Structure 1
Amino acid sequence: MTLAFVLGITSTLFIEHLPPESFPMKGVLILFLFLIASVHFRNRNRSVYWLMLILFFGLGLLQASQQLHHPANPDNIYNRIKEKSEAILVGTLHAMPEYNEHGDTTRITVSLHSLQFQKQRFFTPATGRVLLRLSGKWPQNIFPGDMLAIRAELKRPQSYLSPGSFDYSRYLARKNIWITGVIRNPLFVQKLANKKGITEKIKYFPENLRQAIAEKIKRTVAPNLEGLYRAILLGDRSGVDNTLQEQFKAAGVMHILAISGIHMGILGALLFFLFHHALKRSETLLLKLRIKKTAALLSLPVLLLYSSITGLNAPVVRAVIMSSIVLAALCIDRKKSSPELLCSAALAILIYSPLQLFTASFQLSFAAVAAILFILPCLRRIISSSWEMEHPQSFMAVTGAWLVSSMLVSLVAFLATAPISLYYFNRVSLVGPVANLVIEPLICLWGLLFGFLSLPFLFILPPLGEFLLQTGSHGLAAAIQCVQFFAALPFSDVFLPTPPVPLILFYYFFLTMSVISRKLQMKMSIPALGVICTLLFYLVSSLFDIKLTERKFSISFLDVGQGSAAFITLPSGYRLLIDGGGSSYISPSVGRRVIAPYLWQKGISKIDAVIVTHPDADHYNGLPFIVEHFSPSIIWVNTYSGHDPFFARFLEKARAKGIMTKLAKNGAFLEQTRKIRCIANTTSWPGDRKGENNGLVIKVAGKNFSALFPGDIEKKTEYSLLDQHFPLHSDILLSPHHGSATSNSEQFLRKISPRIMVVSAGKTRKKYFPFPGLQLLCQKNNITMLTTAHYGTIEIIDGDDGYALFGHHVREGNPLLGIKRYLIRRETAATLR
């Protein structure tokens, strides 16, 4: 039934249009339910189970389709905010405030009651949640459940419309957050007097307790360990330093910083031990109660309270549901069954929130647990039999068995989650299986254990609670040292292209066959060989960059916000990146968030060359990551000195990696096919702003079209190019200086005479990039203007009979449905003549 429900949810990915109202489908499912009941009560045959599978498939489809729509309520804040607007909000602080690693920026979630826009005289009802960011400290007298009046600038969250990049708006929509905002000043937050009822006090008690614990941790633990303790105890990673998070990822132990089954298991074992030990002290209770079952039942409410404090993410909910089912089975003496246990937890989560199925957290969590439950016993039986034959039952045998079992658990979890990690993050830690053996005990059995013990004493007996926290912090300090050691090892982690979905399915198919091989009376070596072959095929094709797709001349103008990045592929397989920068406030860089994921999503692990038209940050600040992980052979630049020291450092690191850096000269060709040419290096030419925006003018030619990349040159340089009669005519033009009014002279556009002009610019400065008159200028000269702010990543693909232009947009305007590529227009050979 769980698998049928999962298939029903998955089928929503292939449905182009989902009706907002599903009454016909509800009626069909109700009639189907009556059919199942009649078959069951009349015939009582096994056909009812097949009917149940169809029913649960329909229920999964219905439940998921209902959650894949915008909020329908007209009072919802999503339907009230179309463009960026300033308003006064009245609402309730929904959860504990979160801080960044430096503690100078606060994020809060507010549940709305009403709002008032700038030009309105009265407040109007409003519903929904808003995620707000405040630059500064959060007022200490405001707690979850308090009523607030907040003045903020509101907008719909935006994502980069580029395949492979992190879809922020989709991530928030799955949390039922459709609007974000900025609070410019702490004075714009005011607490309103409101009397809380008993229901509200109970509702917000876990978050208030969470905030109180966070404050006590802040006052007790050293600043460098505070964020880590809040992460493992409260599920709040916002205070963990970005550098430390990267080290945890490289060491393969990032999962420890998320509240999961490990944490709940340790807490459950601790509670069971304490209750069991306390109950055994009473002779009366020993005679009247089953102590083990009673201790287990007493542990459950505490686990439920703790899970509500930690935010109820998917791994925590899964662990609580599984714990509850195990305890219930224990109390009624039911035989345990791992498949039913795991599927029950999955079904319970997905019935409440079916979109959890598409999250990395849900998939990683269940893949790891399923592997430990099903694959580990098979391997343990194979290894333990040979180990016991070679070693008698001694201290060495027991210690060795424990080490082997621990290593197997880590290895099995790694094998089960590696494809999912590569699909979502393009990264896998090679030292993870070993690092977990060292770091998990330090964090979970030392720091976390003392942290759990300290929680009640922080309020009952503060000195003892603080002593326990400080004792546990020594374990965290030791763990950080180990994390830094493993992360610093050569090849501790690798970045690889996104594995194709069919390859992932093949991998898990053979992995499943390995588990059930004995039941099918087949040798385990046969499906195991399939697993190895699947892995080898992926690794060889990735590491050696084997081209499995048809090679065509194509240009992709990536949506990088206010910046420029164009990826070019030639029929010969030559790959080139012209510029690679974006908004400077992005963290991490645009290279890591947008450009690299786009390349990985296409299965690319290496590029041949990089051209930097000029050293402005919005043209190169993403390139250090690209150069580090895609190993180009040459970098063309217009100058070795930039406007800031970062450009010189970038070139130094490139040379240290053995990459050639070369000044491009007028008329020079980049590669042997003579398709990529430097038309002019205008760096030393006089320009409108002392030549600061001068640089390389690059032309790339294909079979059916050519493209010109003039960088940020301005009008004075454009006129100089015209006077010297350079070969500028091209079918595609990347608008100079992002469509600025200081560039794009009419004479320049007429000389190039492009069919299409692409403007690489962000959504935040639409008044200036492109400037308002550019569209009229293009219409006057029969030029089609396309902006990355509107069309997302723009792909131009050459073909046998012309070329096609593709854009990317949010499917049906709904962030929950993700980003989809669509055809903008097609130019045939007949129209090109």
Structure 2
Amino acid sequence: MGGGSIEREIKEKFKYAGVMHLLAVSGFHLSILSMFLSFIFPPILVVVILFLYLNLILFPVSAVRAFIMISVYLIGKSFYRDVDTINSLLFGAMIILFINPLSIISPSFLLTFLATFSIISVMSNVRSKLMQLLLVSPASIFGVFPVSISYFPIFSLIFFVSNIVISPIFNFFLPLTFVITLLSLIDKNLIFLIKPLADLFMKVVDFFSKTPISYIGIKKPHPLFIVSYLLLFLIVVLRKNWNIKIRFEKTIFVFLIVVMVLSFMYPYYAEKNTLKVVFFDVGEGDSIFIKLPSGITMLIDGGGTLNDRKVSPGERVLNSLKRMGVNRLDMMIFTHEDADHIEGLFHVIDKEFVKSIYGPCVPLGEIGKRLIAIGRKKGARFFPLKRGDILNLDKNTKLYVLNPIEGGKDYGRAYDNNNSLFLVLRHKDFSLVLSADVEREGLNEICDVFPEFITNVSVYKVSHHGSRFSFFKEFFNLMSPRISVISVGPNRFGHPSQLIIDSLMDVGSKVYRTDLDGAIELKVYKGKTIIKKYNFLYILDRLRNLSKYSINFNGFNF
């Protein structure tokens, strides 16, 4: 119910088309149900049936808000009383907060009440049905914009057009399918009429979801942005609907606009002249994002399917990129063709603009060739990398390729791993070693051939998720990394090996693990390295919990 059991691919299409709200059980859905029930039952019984329906769908906040407003309207109607929509909306908020005060920080609570309040406020003086149709989407976005970009990484640029087209179709499609479903109880053959209607509707959604530049990623704004925006919103509503005048209104208005603009831009300005490296938490896999002070962006690997999470690694990487405001990748690098490294890149390249793709200069299999082919269709060029290549990224940054040799090499075992890309990024005095899945045979050779590139390392991305097969004591002693990061998740291989962890700690390295610490972010600015840990999975789970009721109220799970 409300999108919880809908296939991920369908939810993705609705999200990128800017109509994800149509999958949530909310005011419109309950209004259709209540109108149908009102033809058969008295108002009080309709309220009871709606409450039982809410219990069935586990009381989502948006549906509870709609239920309270509809109930107030129906009860008022039975007593021949007019109902003020703003008062019923505030009454609903009070009841929800009484049941669960933590709902005040729930995105579901904020979005449903701000959107409804904004629509009511904007539409209060609009009489034209056409204008109501045109204004309902921008009115809702006007209210929820600051909350939306604070909680969610993607903002639709075509919501206005897509909602004008899709919403009326959905308004016709939903009650029609409801009627067909009921009629199918008499003649079961009628149920097959739903499929062609659903297919037609999904083609429209799919068209908008694939529209170029239909969405962008926005950095999470400073809290002052939300405060200043909502204050501006409140001033506009008070002025328009109740003609309430505020002293020094123009001065306050200009001040709030300035604060809003500056606080929105602050997260972008704060990373100026900073080298940023993020090791994403993608379970048992690798995915590293790098942004240089010059603005060049690169994604190295994208994780894969070896995880037990509801959100795929590729989707997690894309959402994280959008949350950081990344809407373009100058470089996409796959170190080798193992699924836990390359598979997530397909999800990213499908939604993100990629300028160039890089991979190992070895004979590639089907999956590597397919990624390159998709990239070329989207305008990305492919560049194979081999030992000895040097990429001059900007005046202070170089990327050195230490492995593989051109055409690959047979080390007697672990061919794919030992022929994966081994990269060293150097930015002024900072050095980052990215060893992909290279194992001890490859590490031994790199130590012999390029000792000068792996001495006194700043940060080491531990090879092969800390596998015992990547243990090479001389390699660790030579590097003596100040920081080591193990990208790992639940697995059956025993990663990471305690021997690896102990050996790194013996050379004075501080060890971080994505399975314990979440995503690891490094910022290098003026010779200083700042480390932050982000357990995105915990945050997402927490937000999901806050978007539902957690109090048992008279036997019902609120």
TM-score (norm 1): 0.57
Look up the equivalent residue of 2:333 and give its one-letter code. Answer: I
Q: CA deviation at 1:345?
A: 0.5
Task: Give runs of aligned pairs for residues 278-357 of structure 1, distance below 5 A.
Answer: 295-332=42-79, 334-357=81-104
- Do the aligned partners of residues 237 and 587 (structure 1) sit closer, same or farther apart at CA in structure 2, a change above 3 Å counting? closer
Say whether residues 1:649 and 2:375 are aligned partners. no
Contact 1:732/1:758, CA 8 A, preserved across alignment: yes
Question: Which residue is 2:510 aligned to?
Answer: 784
Distance (Å, rounded) in 1 between the aligned partners of 2:428 and 2:203: 56
Match of 1:596 in 2: 318
Q: Within 5 Å, give how 1:154-303 maps onto structure 2.
A: 231=1, 235=2, 237-238=4-5, 240-274=6-40, 295-303=42-50
Do 2:219 and 2:268's aligned partners in 1 also have CA atoms closer than 8 Å?
Answer: no
Deviation digits for residues 454-503 of structure 1 (CA, Å, limit 9, x no counterpart): 55x77xxx325x47755666654443343334434444444444444432
Measure, in 2, the Cα distance between the counterparts of 1:726 and 1:241.
50
Match of 1:617 in 2: 339
Paired residue for 1:413? 140
Q: 1:782 to 1:420 in 2, by over 3 A?
A: closer
Task: Give 3-state SS (helix, strand or coil) of 1:671's partner.
Answer: strand
Contact 1:497/1:605, CA 8 A, preserved across alignment: no
CA offsets 1:382-416 (integer angstroms, 9 cap, x no match)? xx6xxxxxxxxxxxxxxxx3222222223312333
Change (3 A) 1:547 1:575: farther
Equivalent residue letter for 2:524: D
Pair 1:577 & 2:304 matched: no
Name the counterpart of 1:711. Answer: 436
Aligned to 1:183: none
How far 1:700 moved relative to its partner?
1.9
Matching residue within 262, 286, 289 for 1:567: 289
Secondary structure of 1:796's partner?
strand
Task: Quote the Cα distance in structure 2 between the aligned partners of 1:448 and 1:249.
Answer: 22
Provide the secondary structure at the position in 1 that maps to 2:321: helix
Structure-2 change in CA distance of 1:244 and 1:530 (3 Å): farther
AA paired with 2:519?
T
Matched, 1:699 2:424: yes
| Contact 1:250/1:429, CA 8 A, preserved across alignment | yes
Deviation at 1:712, TM superposition (A): 1.4
Q: Is the 8 A contact 2:275 2:291 kept in 1?
A: yes
Aligned equivalents of 1:531, 1:639: Cα separation in 2: 55
The DSSP-based 3-state class of the residue aligned with 1:698 is strand
C-alpha distance in 1 between matches for 2:52 and 2:189: 24
Who is 2:448 aligned against?
723
**1:771 equivalenced with 2:497 (yes/no):** yes
- The 1-side partners of 2:270 and 2:528 are apart by 23
* Cα distance change of structure 1 residues 784 and 624 upon mapping to structure 2, 3 Å threshold: same
Q: Does 1:751 align with 2:478?
A: yes
2:389 is equivalent to residue 662 of structure 1 = no
Tell me the distance in 1 between the aligned counterparts of 2:30 and 2:107.
Answer: 20
- Deviation sequence 1:661-682 (CA, Å, 0-9, x none): 2223415133132522224132
Q: Which residue of 1 aligns with 2:548?
A: none
- Displacement of 1:452: 5.5
Does the Cα contact within 8 Å between 1:754 and 1:783 map onto a contact in 2? yes
Q: 1:471 to 1:334 in 2, by over 3 A?
A: same
Task: Give the CA deviation at 1:609.
Answer: 2.5
Summarize the Cα distance change of 1:530–1:596 in structure 2 as closer, same or farther, 3 Å threshold: farther
Shift in alpha-carbon separation, 1:253–1:640, aligned structure 2, 3 A: farther
Aligned partner of 1:737 in structure 2 is 464
Are the aligned partners of 1:580 and 1:591 in contact in 2 as well (CA < 8 Å)?
A: yes
Amino acid across the alignment from 2:11: Q
Other structure's SS at 1:564 match: coil
Aligned length in residues: 535
Task: Tell me the alpha carbon deviations over residues 322-362 of structure 1, each in whole angstroms, 9 at most, x when there is no partner.
Answer: 12222333445555333321111012122223333333332
Residue identity in the other structure for 1:323: I
Pair 1:427–1:812, CA change in 2 (3 A): closer
Give the match for residue 556 of structure 2: none
2: distance between equivalents of 1:675 and 1:792?
27
SS at match of 2:410: coil
Measure, in 1, the Cα distance between the counterparts of 2:372 and 2:447.
32
8 Å Cα contact 2:300-2:332 kept in structure 1? yes
Letter in 2 for 1:428: F
Give CA deviations for 1:244-268 in whole Å, capped at 9, x if unaligned: 3333333333322222110111222
Opposite residue 441 of structure 2, the aligned amino acid is K
Structure having the higher Rg: 1
Distance 1:557 1:274 in 2: 58
**Map of 1:463 onto structure 2:** 186
Q: CA deviation at 1:749?
A: 1.4
User: Partner residue of 2:549?
Assistant: none
User: Contact 2:385–2:401 at 8 Å: present in 1 too?
Assistant: no
| Secondary structure of 1:669 counterpart | strand
Q: Deviations over 1:695-726 (max 9, x none)?
A: 32221224554221122112122222222244
Matching of residues 329-728 of structure 1 within 5 Å: 329-332=76-79, 334-378=81-125, 380=126, 401-449=128-176, 451=178, 455=182, 462-463=185-186, 466=188, 469=191, 475-518=197-240, 519-521=243-245, 547-584=269-306, 589-593=312-316, 595-639=317-361, 641-643=363-365, 645-665=366-386, 666-683=388-405, 684-689=408-413, 691-693=415-417, 694-727=419-452, 728=454
8 Å Cα contact 1:664-1:678 kept in structure 2: no
Using a 3 Å threshold, how does the CA distance of structure 1 residues 484 and 760 change in structure 2: closer, same or farther? closer
Matched residue of 1:325: which SS?
helix
Q: Distance in 1 between matches of 2:122 and 2:159?
A: 18
* Distance in 2 (alpha carbons) for counterparts of 1:637 and 1:810: 28
Tell me the SS of whatever aligns to 1:626.
Answer: helix
Structure 2: state its 5+ residue gaps: 545-558
Higher RCO, 1 or 2 (CA under 8 Å, sep at least 6)? 2
Cα pair 1:708 1:733 within 8 Å, conserved: yes
Q: Which runs of 5+ in 1 are unaligned?
A: 1-230, 276-294, 385-400, 819-833
Describe the shift of the 1:402–1:615 C-alpha distance in structure 2 as closer, same or farther (beyond 3 A). Answer: same
Give, in whole Å, the separation in 2 of the partners of 1:433 and 1:811. 32
1:599-647, CA deviations, whole angstroms, 9 ceiling, x for partnerless residues?
Answer: 333333334333333232222222234345553443332136434x222
| Corresponding position: 1:797 with 2:523 | yes
- Report how far residue 561 of structure 1 moved: 1.3
Q: What is the percent sequence identity of the aligned residues? A: 26
CA shift digits 1:779-807 (9 cap, x unpaired): 44444333222222223333546434333
In 2 relative to 1, CA 783–657 (structure 1 residues): closer, same or farther, beyond 3 Å?
A: same
CA RMSD, aligned part only? 3.8
Q: Distance in 2 between matches of 1:566 and 1:761?
A: 13
Task: Give the drift of 1:771.
Answer: 1.5
Q: Deviations over 1:292-323 (max 9, x none)?
A: xxx43343233333333333221221122112
Deviation at 1:549, TM superposition (A): 3.2
Conservation of the 8 A alpha-carbon contact between 2:305 and 2:340: yes
Code of the residue aligned with 2:484 in structure 1: it is M
Separation in 2, partners of 1:267, 1:813: 34
Change (3 A) 1:306 1:444: farther
Which amino acid in structure 2 is aligned with residue 505 of structure 1?
V
